[in-house]
Structure 1
Amino acid sequence: MAKRSSTQESLAFAFELLKRIPRSGKGKVTALELQQQLECIGIQRDIRTVQRNLEMLCEHFDIVKDDRAKPYGYSLKTESEGLALPLMSPQESLLLSLAEDYLQNLLPKNVMASLYGFFKAARNNLSPSEGNTKEREWLKKVRFVSETQPLLPPKVEDQVFSEISKALYHNRWLDIEYTNGKQEDKKSEVMPLGLAQQGSRLYLVCRFKGYNNERSLAVHRINKAVCSTFNFDRPVDFNLSKYDNDGRFGFGEGNQCRVEFCITKKVGFHLLETPLSEDQTVEELDSHYLITATVIDSMQLEHWLRGFGDDIWNVIKIKK
């Protein structure tokens, strides 16, 4: 593939800057903020280069530079067409707004940064000044509800998450410093294979260098992360969906078991609506149900069963 010329590189860089400059009345952006946004998608430039390009763009486009105080802020004149994004319908804006809220920890940082213009346009389309009252109100009518006691999410350092996302996206080795479950500080080189959100926590699925098995590390326990310049070949035998289905996030090893138990009708009725498995059977007796199902044997299963207290009895597990 032919290398891009310096002119092409300059044009591409200017384009990336321009599409991140908001319209007047919708806020403004500084050179440093633009530099950080571009770093998230892999474009590395020093602050002086960003500033010089902004000065050049101000000469050729309807860009307002607020130089009343440093750092200077930049915005497009309201009447300027700039680099217009495709006009989104209110329904598309609604979908993008929901996606931004619920996928921000599951999409790579550089992908989120590259979608910044679309997310911002969606928010603007749903602003009070644009009308779209029904769509704007819909955001207040839907909510994800936790099945367990809600917990505040642990703090994840932006730099750590950015480096993890970069390494995962580009299939590069990752150098980490982390605190394990025994409160011991460790340093390791890992092969990042996947990210998973479980409740309020985010987990990195990875392989430690020199090993062929996968482990899940709580991202908030990673104190430092540096994306390496060395790539790896993603293991063909790893599948994140299978890893989940094997109960690995529930502290299982992928082993199935046949579980049988008695449960009171009042507490166990929901299992008739939401079965444990496709092969679940239910025998209805006078005061309780006798339920059998094939499930993954894990600590999560044990915790779930114990949670019913005296409403569950005669629990039998048979390994398959």
Structure 2
Amino acid sequence: MARRASTQETLALSFEMLKRIPQSHQVTASELHQQLKEVGIERDIRSIQRNLEMLCEHFEIVRDDRSKPYGYSWNKVNTGFSLAKLSPQESMLLSLAEDYLSNLLPANVLSSLSSFFDEAKYNLIPTDSSNKERDWLKKVRVVSETQPLLSPKIHPDIFRAVSDALYNDRFLTLDYHNSKQEQRSATVMPLGLAQQGSRLYLVCRFEGYDNERSLALHRIHKAYVSAFNFKRPKEFKLSQYDADGRFGFGEGENCRIQFCISKDSGFHLLETPLSEDQQVEEHDDHFRISATVIDSRLLEKWLRGFGEQVWDISPKKILHHKY
């Protein structure tokens, strides 16, 4: 016999459903069922449907029963469950946030915001009247410094499990393959999530080790969130991990590098220096650059990218590393 939900559970479910019913468009029971599931609220579809009928009786919620599946939305004259309608500026901000932060938000938080994102998109639909906020989205863009690549495929269940474990400080059991296509399984302590270009990386500690490694999310085949929590190591900081060049395949070791670069290729280094202590000697047709940087494979790749426009590199070992 199924357990009868308590009054507190029923109220909590109703509250979560009210937050997800939009005003500008309709949502179905199945869509609400999926949104609730993504934030850890497990109810069968019949329970969702019964609660929707109850909410229609007590709130200004309209059911469109002209065709199945039925659609639900707030009455147009009602402001909805939120106390205020999104302003054009808030709609613009949310649209930008969805475009550029969706990979860095926990899956449960992203799901909770889905109705707000939908509302923001609706508010920015072109109309006969002027909409400077909508037009602004066409005027700004983040562009790539390198050859653009399509983002690798990450299964939603993998991202959901990784972000859930990271959000709640829980161990994570993974099946994955490395860059050599070798299959591996491991239990890890998730410590951070970083986006580098088109890729997402999980920074973690493998069970039995005290150092950190980065795993590409698109190489993870299966991910299981443990019921066991862990205490985050106080000495770990994601910002320092990045500053140490770990995402550039370095080991956090500084080096003093010197090289010559043609003026055409090196002028940008006068505007965007390699480091705070960068020094530049100007010659007739080139610059002599000296700077303290993190020694990494990314540095080697960057230098090689200039081809014959860069020469006399010191120390020479930088171009002969084996990582």
- Aligned partner of 2:270 in structure 1 is 272
Q: Given the alignment of the two structures, is residue 245 of structure 1 paired with residue 257 of structure 2, yes or no?
A: no
1:196 is matched with 194
Give the alignment partner of residue 174 of structure 2, picking from 170, 176, 179: 176
Whether the aligned pair in 2 keeps the contact of 1:252 and 1:299 (CA below 8 Å) is yes
Letter in 1 for 2:36: L
Instruction: Report the more deviating stretch, 31-40 or 298-307.
Output: 31-40
Matched with 1:211 is: 209
Q: How does 1:39-58 map onto structure 2 within 5 Å?
A: 39-58=37-56
Mapped to 1, the partners of 2:307 and 2:39 lie a distance apart of 50
What is aligned with 1:126? 124
Q: Which whole-Å CA distance do the structure 2 matches of 1:18 and 1:225 have between them?
A: 31
Q: How does 1:29-44 map to 2 (within 5 A)?
A: 29-44=27-42
Name stretches of at least 5 consecutive residues in structure 1 with no aligned partner.
none
Query: How far off is 1:238 after superposition?
Result: 0.7
Asked if the contact 1:124–1:130 (Cα under 8 Å) also holds between the matched residues in 2, the reply is no
Give the 5 Å matches for 1:100-119: 100-119=98-117
TM-score, normalization by structure 1: 0.92
Distance 1:73 1:238, change over 3 A: same
Size of the aligned set, in residue pairs, is 313
The answer for the alignment partner of 1:290 in structure 2 is 288
Residue 155 of structure 1, aligned match among 117, 132, 153 = 153
How many angstroms apart in 2 are the aligned matches of 1:203 and 1:60?
46
Secondary structure of the structure 1 residue equivalent to 2:20: coil
Aligned pair partner of 1:255 in 253, 256, 262: 253
Verify the 8 A CA contact 1:257 1:318 in the aligned structure 2: no
- The Cα offsets for residues 202-238 of structure 1, whole Å up to 9 and x where unpaired, read as 1111111111111111101111111111111111111
Please list the CA deviations of residues 166-212 of structure 1 after superposition, one character each: whole Å capped at 9, or x if unmatched: 11100011111111111122221111111100000111111111111
Q: Is the 8 A contact 2:33 2:48 kept in 1?
A: yes
CA distance in 1, matches of 2:107, 2:312: 49
TM-score under structure 2 length normalisation: 0.91
Q: Deviations over 1:230-272 (max 9, x none)?
A: 1111111110000000000000010110000001111100000
Partner secondary structure for residue 50 of structure 1: helix
- The two structures, once aligned, show a CA RMSD in angstroms of 1.9
Query: How high is the sequence identity, in percent, across the aligned residues?
Result: 65
Instruction: Give the Cα separation in 1 of the matches to 2:122 and 2:67.
Output: 26
Letter in 2 for 1:295: V
Answer whether contact 1:258 1:318 (CA < 8 A) is retained.
Answer: no
Q: Which amino acid aligns with 2:310?
A: I
Residue deviations 1:76-124 (CA, integer Å, cap 9, x gap): 2322333134344322321221111100000101111222233233223
